[in-house]
Amino acid sequence: MLMRFTDFVLNFPFLVFVIVLATIFHGKINGLVILIIVISLLSWGGVARIVRSKILAEKENEYILASISIGCSPFKVITKHLLPNVLSTIIVQATILFASMIVAETGLSFLGFGVPSEIPSWGNMLAFANEPDVLQGKPWIWIPPALAITLTILSINFVGEGLKDALNPRSRR
């Protein structure tokens, strides 16, 4: 039942849904708040699907079945066996999702559907740099926000990969 709801959420066209909600709530609610809520509500489905498949695969391992057969409580099986083996996947997926949420906010703000223009964001900075008079007078003005976006996304992904390697129980000695 929960995965059917996840499939339902994944079937929403993300960009169209965000643009419609941004248009409906424009001026009524803070644009940043509605953007955070909509991106959060529509982004978790992929992670849920990956984590569920990883847990279903782990549940079939012999050590899990053996711990269940000797009478371990479900809480102990989850905390001692399932969670340590799935935690690295959850962390990597969360960091990838966080990075993609930053890109989504930047893109929507660049298009004018995200954060209001009076609030500074990387998307608004890029939108300002895309104006014709700015492009003719100062064509380099887009470089700082673009570098900030790129470096932030790369560093988030590197942190996620490092945490995956550190938390992977199969790589411990």
Per-residue pLDDT at 172: 57
CATH number at residue 159: 1.10.3720.10
What letters, b where the CB count within 10 A reaches 16 and e where it falls short, cover 118-132?
Answer: eeebbbbbbbebeee
| Contact of 127 with 110, CB cutoff 8 Å | yes
Query: What separation, in Å, do the N-terminal and C-terminal C-alpha atoms of the chain show?
Result: 39
Q: What's the total number of domains in the chain?
A: 1
Q: Which range marks the domain in which residue 155 is found? A: 2-171
d(CA 161, CA 147) in angstroms, rounded, equals 21
pLDDT tens, per residue, the chain with 173 residues: 788 888 888 888 888 887 787 777 766 667 777 788 888 888 888 889 999 999 999 988 998 999 989 998 999 999 988 998 888 888 888 998 999 999 988 988 888 887 878 888 898 888 888 888 877 888 788 888 999 999 999 999 999 888 888 877 666 55
DSSP string, 104-173: HHHHHHHHTSSS-TTS--HHHHHHHHTSHHHHHH-TTTTHHHHHHHHHHHHHHHHHHHHHHHHH-GGG--
Per-residue pLDDT at 66: 92
For residue range 9-38, list pLDDT tens digits in order: 888 888 888 778 777 776 666 777 778 888
d(CA 149, CA 123) in angstroms, rounded, equals 9
